[in-house]
């Protein structure tokens, strides 16, 4: 009896090499500046588009690269290793468009996925509100039917890449009082009359990725822009997160890998007590633990990606919800620990802006918060186990 080799397919290893080369050449040199200025790195976006790495998950029938979920994870991981803010380009393009892939009409898919695949438009995802974060179903944004149109009013909070994205998947209440079953999903365009954006949030990390409110004031859109049936928007939103929490896990892995690689290089060079600090067992054990936690989280993330890929292709996976929450939670907790240890291993220098590890530590923190806080991931996992 033969047992298949437990390893990445060769093309995924090659993809990693290609993205790493691009990231080393074009993205890493821009990371510190994007962090300092808080400006969206348009040149990085253009470089990703030129390499067809900006929205790799878009299927070929809509003009995309048609990368599988594991390949998408590898792209996000390698971009995040160089610059966490930039990794939100492929990650949020996936987050914004998975609702369409899961539930939209063919007409909506054709109309909106092709420009994203061509790099002419980015796509954001607007679920959260100021008073409805973890309890997303408590949203207040309203969409009221008006003939063959809907009129949207409300404000979506914390929207990643708001202002730079052309398109938005917006969840809104169509049937008040019906709770999660009264929410529908829509495509809103930046150019729709009545759409505006709040000021950029001043954040701890991922500063090169704008986070802004999306404000909707009497935004009148055709009913054909509803994604799926009325009342199915919340389910589509949560089903989407089953696929995209894995991309946040990927982002966390990349940030952690960047910090580990930097720390390993540093401890071999830095001398104290007459020798490289890498020769001290106290340092060696830290490096070993960092790499062990990272690899454990990576294996869980890749297993989750494999399940996501099967589910996307009509083979529902009953444990996808568990795996995607577990991967996001494990990878983000690991990233926070690993980046904090990397700062520790660089000593005082690690605490300064002259070295990249303090930025990585700040960037890592968000991965424990967005796409559902890690308490929410633990709640989702426990519900799956206890149901």
Of 1-9, 67-75, 125-133, 143-151: span binding ligand CAA (CB under 6 A): 125-133
Residue closest to ligand FAD, measured at CB: 133
Residues between 209 and 248 that touch ligand CAA (CB under 6 A): 234-235, 238-239, 241-242, 248
Six token digits for residue 49: 């588009």
The verdict on 369 binding ligand FAD (CB under 6 A) reads yes
Pairing of strands 142-146, 183-189: unpaired
31 interacts with ligand CAA by CB under 6 A? no
The whole-angstrom separation of Cα 200 and Cα 159 is 10
Among 37, 110, 134, 352, binds ligand CAA (CB under 6 A): 134
Strands 123-126 and 167-173: parallel
Q: How many CB atoms lie within 10 A of CB 224?
A: 13
332 scored as a contact of ligand CAA (CB under 6 A): no
Residues linked to residue 361 through DSSP beta bridges, in sequence order = none
Nearer to ligand FAD, 134 or 284 (CB): 134
How far apart are the C-alpha atoms of 316 and 307, rounded to whole Å? 8
Site for ligand FAD in 198-257 (CB under 6 A): 203, 206, 211
d(CA 155, CA 144): 15
Taking Cα atoms as reference points, which of 374, 303, 302, 363 lies closest to residue 333?
A: 374
Q: Should residue 322 be labelled a site residue for ligand FAD when binding is judged by CB under 6 A?
A: no
No. of helices (H) and no. of strands (E), the chain:
12, 10
Q: Please identify, among the stretches 68-76, 274-282, 337-345, 368-376, the one whose residues bind ligand CAA according to the rule CB under 6 A.
A: 368-376
Q: How far is the CB of 284 from ligand FAD (least distance, A)?
A: 35
What would the two tokens of residue 110 be? Answer: 């054709």
Q: Which pair of tokens denotes residue 291?
A: 């790499």
**Which one of ligand CAA, ligand FAD, none is in contact with 137 (Cβ closer than 5 to 8 A by kind)?**
ligand CAA
Size of the site for ligand CAA (CB under 6 A): 24
**Part of the chain binding ligand FAD (CB under 6 A), chosen from 145-153, 156-164, 226-234, 297-305:** 156-164
Give the H/E segment covering residue 156.
strand 149-160
**x-or-dash string of contact with ligand FAD, 111-150, rule CB under 6 A:** -------------xxxxx----xx----------------
Residue numbers annotated as active site: 371
User: Mask: binding to ligand CAA, 83-112, rule CB under 6 A, as x and -?
Assistant: ---------x--x-----------------
Q: CB-wise, 27 or 380, nearer to ligand CAA?
A: 380
- From the list ligand FAD, ligand CAA, none, which binds 126 (C-beta under 5 to 8 Å, kind-based)? ligand FAD
Partner residues linked to 227 by β-bridges: 185
Cα 374 from chain centroid (whole Å): 15
Residue 186 C-beta: closest distance to ligand FAD, Å: 14
Q: What single-letter DSSP state applies at residue 215?
A: E
Residue 337 contacts residue 292 (beta carbons within 8 Å):
no
The vertex-167 CA angle with 165 and 170, nearest 5°, equals 115
Under the criterion CB under 6 A, does residue 376 sit at the interface with ligand CAA? Answer: yes
Q: Binding marks (x or -) toward ligand CAA, 157..186, rule CB under 6 A?
A: ---x-------------------xx-----
231 CB contacts (<8 Å, ≥6 apart)? 174, 175, 178, 181, 182, 183, 184
Task: Provide the binding-site residues for ligand FAD, judged by CB under 6 A.
Answer: 124-128, 133-134, 158-160, 203, 206, 211, 366, 369-373, 375-376, 379
């Amino acid at each position: 009896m033969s047992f298949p080799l437990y390893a990445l397919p060769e093309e995924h290893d090659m993809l990693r090499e290609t993205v790493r080369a691009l990231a080393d050449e074009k993205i890493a040199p821009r990371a510190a500046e994007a962090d300092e200025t808080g400006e969206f790195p348009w040149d990085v976006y253009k470089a990703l588009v030129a390499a067809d790495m900006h929205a790799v998950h878009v299927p070929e029938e809509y003009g995309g690269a048609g990368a599988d979920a594991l390949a998408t994870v590898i792209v996000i991981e390698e971009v995040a290793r160089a610059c966490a803010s930039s990794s939100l380009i492929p990650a949020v393009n996936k987050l914004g468009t998975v609702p369409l892939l899961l539930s939209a009409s063919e007409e909506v898919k054709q109309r909106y996925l092709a420009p994203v695949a061509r790099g002419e438009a980015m796509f954001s995802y607007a679920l959260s509100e100021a008073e409805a974060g973890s309890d997303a179903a408590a949203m207040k944004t309203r969409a009221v039917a008006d003939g063959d149109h809907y009129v949207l009013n409300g404000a979506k909070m914390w929207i990643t890449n708001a202002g730079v994205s052309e398109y938005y998947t917006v969840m809104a209440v169509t049937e008040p009082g019906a709770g999660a079953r009264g929410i529908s999903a829509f495509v809103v365009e930046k150019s729709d009359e009545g759409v505006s954006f709040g000021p950029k949030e001043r954040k701890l990390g991922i500063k090169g990725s704008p986070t802004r409110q999306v404000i909707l004031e009497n935004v009148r859109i055709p009913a054909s822009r509803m994604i799926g049936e009325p009342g199915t928007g919340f389910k589509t939103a949560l089903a989407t997160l089953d696929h995209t929490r894995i991309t946040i896990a990927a982002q966390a892995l990349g940030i952690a890998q960047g910090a580990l690689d930097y720390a390993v290089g540093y401890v071999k060079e830095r001398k104290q007590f007459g020798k490289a600090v890498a020769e001290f067992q106290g340092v060696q054990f830290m490096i070993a633990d960092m790499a062990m936690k990272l690899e454990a989280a990576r294996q869980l993330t890749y297993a989750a990606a494999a399940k996501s890929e099967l589910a996307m292709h009509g083979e529902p996976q009953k444990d996808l919800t568990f795996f995607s929450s577990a991967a996001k939670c494990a990878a983000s907790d690991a990233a926070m620990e690993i980046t904090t240890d990397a700062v520790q291993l660089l000593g005082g220098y690690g605490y300064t802006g002259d070295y990249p590890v303090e930025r990585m530590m700040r960037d890592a923190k968000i991965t424990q918060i967005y796409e559902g806080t890690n308490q929410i991931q633990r709640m989702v996992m426990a519900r799956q186990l206890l149901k």
